[in-house]
Amino acid sequence: MSNSIEAIKKFPFPFTSDSYKYSVNIQPVTNEALFDVNEHYNSEIELRDRILQKGHKGRYVALPHMKEAQWDTLEMIMNDLATWYPESFSLTQNGDRWIWENKKLNLKDTFTFLDESSLPYQPFEYISRQVPEDIMLLDQREGDLFVDAGILMFPTLWSLGFNAGMSFEEIHTPVPRAHQMGVFKKAKAFLMRVQIGKPWTRRNWTMTINRRLETSFETYPEWGKDRSTVTLENCGEKVHLRVEVQRFARLPRSNALMFPIHTYLISLNELSTNPAWTRQLHQVLKNLPADLIEYKGLSRYYDTVLTWLSHKHEVKALF
């Protein structure tokens, strides 16, 4: 399941300069969907479904006080999908009586807004099973943000089971450098002021071996060993740039913060069809400090990737 030429063109390449700097690097979302329904939609929804069937533990959590935030999320996602992908989704609201149609999943449900018993799942689970994004819901109280609900299938080495209920800074404790720079304090202050109707976005990146979206702590034994299988010959096929497009939106009734994360994977072969990207990724990796190489889990194949990229880069330069 690789990317089409169209998907490669639209890939959210995360770098804008040759050196990677920690910053809040956050942009307003204007005139685009918050949730991305693309060519991988059905396969990713199926994959998420399979993962969830093995159990909710560590995958889905919603603390009791997040009821309002759950309905907020359902309303925001339904409106977003129906607005941006009207050929696939529609929402009809007759007062509290809502009809939701998802043609991609052949699903049509009538339910009563704010009445949980009218849906087959909790509202947050119901709607988040229909988007490929992982979603965290952050309760804002007592001058802090807490991950008090979330659905997480495609984590990059973190765990909902471990992070649920934690405050913003507790969650970011393992990230090197940024604490000293005050990044999280500033980021938190910023997030706490995100306003209704004014969502924001940022991109985060790492690398993954093979086209594998599910890289959680819990399944590390299944995929951790793949990191030692990278050679110069298979590098282009095996090594993927992994980009998270994160959104931040204020949920209006609950005043909670919705944080959806869409994960995109692109193999180095696919990426290298764009010479500018190849060159920039090479430069960024070359300039990456040792502690970040370690934190992002790149150590075991870092040198191989650099060599592979420099060959690509040079070969392109020759012609």
How far apart, in whole angstroms, are the C-alpha atoms of residue 40 and residue 4? 10
Tell me whether strands 27-28 and 60-62 are parallel, antiparallel or unpaired: unpaired
202 is catalytic: yes
Q: Minimum CB separation from other proteins for residue 63, in Å?
A: 9
Compute how many other C-beta atoms are within 10 angstroms of the C-beta atom of residue 13: 18
Residue with Cβ nearer other proteins (116 or 237): 116
Residue 5 main-chain phi, psi, to 5 deg? -60, -40
Q: Cα separations (Å) of 160 from 30, 155, 271, 282, 305? A: 30, 9, 30, 32, 30
> Which among 202, 203, 212, 227 is annotated as catalytic?
202
Q: Cα separations (Å) of 236 from 167, 273, 299? A: 39, 11, 17
Binding residues for other proteins restricted to 140-199, rule: CB under 8 A: 140-143, 189, 193, 195-198
Grouping H, G, I as helix, E, B as strand and the rest as coil, residue 261 is strand
Contact segment (CB under 8 A) with other proteins among 124-132, 134-142, 264-272, 295-303 equals 134-142
DSSP letter at 15?
A: -
Q: How many residues bind other proteins (CB under 8 A)?
A: 21
* Chosen residue from 44, 72, 80, 214 binding other proteins by CB under 8 A: 72
* Chosen residue from 252, 269, 284, 288 binding other proteins by CB under 8 A: 252
Q: Minimum CB separation from other proteins for residue 81, in Å?
A: 16
Residues 258-297, mask of contacts with other proteins (x by CB under 8 A): ----------------------------------------
How far apart, in whole angstroms, are the C-alpha atoms of residue 66 and residue 76? 15
Q: Minimum CB separation from other proteins for residue 163, in Å?
A: 18
* Catalytic site positions: 202
Residues that bind other proteins (CB under 8 A): 65-66, 68, 72, 75, 114, 139-143, 189, 193, 195-198, 252-255
